[in-house]
Structure 1
Amino acid sequence: MTKDMTEMWSKDFVPEGNRASNVDRFTGFEDTYDQHRPEAPQEVVALLTGYLERKPSVVVDLGCGTGLSSFAWKDAADQVIGVEPNDDMRGKAVAKLQTLEQEARSSGADIADIKFVSGYSNQLALPDQSADIITCSQSFHWMDPASTLKEVSRVLRDEGIFAVYDCDWPPSLTWRVEQAYHGLIERAEAIIDDHVEPQEQAYKGNKNEHLKHIRESGLFRFSKEIVFHHMEPFTADRYTGLAVSQGGIQTVFKLKPTELNDNIAQFHALVEEHFQGRTLPVMLSYRMRLGIK
């Protein structure tokens, strides 16, 4: 990376098409996020490797957060590059990588060359046609779609794959729990509206328009949507923790630390009533939109 590139991604620099508020939304709760959010399921690796028809040499993970979506490729790619503008989230990913590398050295295991870098989706410090697969896990809706897709096309090799995948929130459980989950999120957003001017709030795009953006870009020869499901073990604490890890609730914690305490306690009581101290399999539903250059 040249000196100019290093200066480009200084802490205070936000490239055109990005919002500092979108990055700041994820500051300060990297541990909660990493503890409760799901790792990228192996179905993602299997699907994308199948479409590529070979082992990827380079996978780039945009908006990688704490690396939950990057480490899925540790045994399935030669090199993995996680790109994340938030220092706290990226710092957690780097710490996890150090532990993984120590474990690999101790056991003699081979893993991909993994690194995490600061950067934005529409200004990547990567050469033209250098990546086989570029992914956005739970992140594309925070990015400017047009400029991001243009940059993705530049970096992808011919017949390379761009894949956006998101998990439906909340995970399927009971209608009462899910209704309460939505109510908790709506309450958090109402508090934010009361205390933060609209122009200073984080902006979230419509996930239902991801495939439309890919197709209308004209940059991909083939595109489609894939829906799949993945089962994971949950406890009441994890289900509640997943709700609390949502950015809106964490934003309220920064603004009005105790404002949601009663709402969260009521939600957790409802969740505990369902789990009754048990660990239960819970279905996570995913929607992947992909484009092949």
Structure 2
Amino acid sequence: MAGRQERREIALSFGGVASEYDRGRPGYPDELFDALERLWGRRLKGARVLDVGAGTGIATRLLAARGAEVVAVEPSDGMAAQFQDSSPTLPLVRGTGDDLPFHDASADLIGYAQAFHWTRPERSVPEAIRVLRPGGALATWWNVQDETVPWVRARGERLAAALPDRYHGYRGISGHTSHFAPAGLAVERAALRWERRITVEHLLTDLTSRSYLASLSPEERAPVLAVEREAALAEFPDGVVVEPFVLDLTVAVKPN
């Protein structure tokens, strides 16, 4: 298990692949935000939302499109710069979930898209509770590769063998949210299946943005990506990948 300093360095390594992150990472289907509103019991339109660990703004833009008054929160220099290039009209604040730079009771929703596992829950959960208004919610979601699909499972096995100290798969998401109920939050969960169609090169761009490869040098990444290119073309000879996901959503509501 990576130590605190090592985890911080891995998290900040995203800044070096911010362009690949913005181009390669999957977005989120409308059904995610429908489910979030249903579990929360409120609409996003007009809500004051903090998108913490916003990265390049993939979720921020979608939240804004739903009518939320959204503010991005991002610690990485590289990711923040890419955010400002990709989303110049949206507000960005530098900070982390462990130390939110916002007043008490100033937000309706705090969202973590692919980001809550980079926080320390013993700090980030009390911080969220402090900043949320009564009836507000903390929401976390992850696009989890669907390893019930054989080619996805095989890719995970290859990456685990090639990067035994770095690649740990996408299991155990619920463990990151186990602090919510003990903190007095009412927890609801949903899992949504969806897929995207992308090129093999797009798939490799996405892989390059993952922490287990982003924290390597380009020379170290190259042989891993070469193996994955060959495997993807063998599975999808027309060059079009159908990539399946299980979108894991947790919504934890603060009492009124």
TM class, shorter-length? 0.7 to 0.9
Of stretches 58-67 and 238-247 in structure 1, the one that deviates more from structure 2 is 238-247
* Structure 2 match to 1:144: 120
Q: Kindly tell me: are residues 19 and 176 of structure 1, through their superposed partners in 2, closer, same or farther at Cα, counting changes over 3 Å?
A: closer
- List aligned pairs for 1:165-176, cutoff 5 A: 165-169=141-145, 171=146, 174-176=149-151
User: How many Å apart are 1:18 and its aligned residue?
Assistant: 11
Distance 1:131 1:205 in 2: 30
**How far 1:66 sits from its partner (Å)?**
0.6
Alignment of 1:86 onto 2:86? no
Residue matched to 2:93: 117
User: Relative to structure 1, is the Cα distance of residues 249 and 120 closer, same or farther in structure 2, using a 3 angstrom cutoff?
Assistant: same
CA displacement at 1:43 relative to structure 2: 2.1
Identical-pair percentage: 23
Deviation track 1:64-100 (CA, whole Å, cap 9, x = no partner) reads 11111111112223411110100101111111112xx
Q: Unaligned stretches of 5+ in structure 2? A: none
Report which structure shows greater RCO (CA 8 Å, sep ≥6): 2
Count of aligned positions:
247
- Structure 2 counterpart of 1:236, which letter? V
Are the aligned partners of 1:233 and 1:282 in contact in 2 as well (CA < 8 Å)?
yes
Say whether the 8 Å CA contact 1:18–1:143 is kept in structure 2.
no
Asked if 1 retains the 8 angstrom alpha-carbon contact of 2:24 and 2:202, the reply is yes
* Amino acid paired to 2:87: L
Task: Indicate whether 1:70 and 2:65 are aligned.
Answer: no
Secondary structure of 2:16's counterpart equals coil
**In 2, are the aligned partners of 1:133 and 1:161 still within 8 Å (CA)?**
yes
SS of the residue 1:168 aligns to = strand
Say if 1:260 and 1:89 are closer, same or farther in 2 by CA, change over 3 A: closer
Query: After the TM superposition, which residues 159-238 of structure 1 pair with which residues of structure 2 at under 5 Å, given as runs?
Result: 159-169=135-145, 171=146, 174-190=149-165, 207-218=173-184, 220=185, 222-238=186-202
> What residue in structure 2 maps to residue 8 of structure 1?
none
Aligned positions of 1:24-103 closer than 5 A: 24-50=12-38, 51-54=40-43, 55-98=45-88, 101=89
Flag the structure with larger Rg: 1
Shift of 1:22: 4.3
C-alpha spacing 1:244/1:18, structure 2 compared with 1 (3 Å): closer
Q: Which moved more, 1:60-69 or 1:71-80?
A: 71-80
Q: TM-score, normalised by structure 1?
A: 0.75
How far residue 246 of structure 1 moved from its aligned partner, in angstroms, is 1.0
Q: CA deviation at 1:157?
A: 1.2
Aligned partner of residue 83 in structure 2, secondary structure: helix
Q: Secondary structure at the match of 1:259?
A: helix
Q: TM-score, normalised by structure 2?
A: 0.85
For 2:92, what is the secondary structure of its paired residue?
strand
User: Is there any run of 5+ residues in structure 1 with no aligned partner, and where?
Assistant: 1-15, 102-113, 194-203
The answer to whether the 8 A contact 2:200-2:241 is kept is no
- Equivalence map 1:258-269=2 (5 Å): 258-269=219-230
> Which of 96, 100, 106 is the matching residue for 1:130?
106
Secondary structure, counterpart of 1:212 in structure 2: coil
Change (3 A) 1:25 1:206: farther
Shift in CA distance, 183/128, structure 1 to aligned 2, threshold 3 Å: same
RMSD: 2.7
Deviation at residue 241 of structure 1 after TM alignment: 2.4
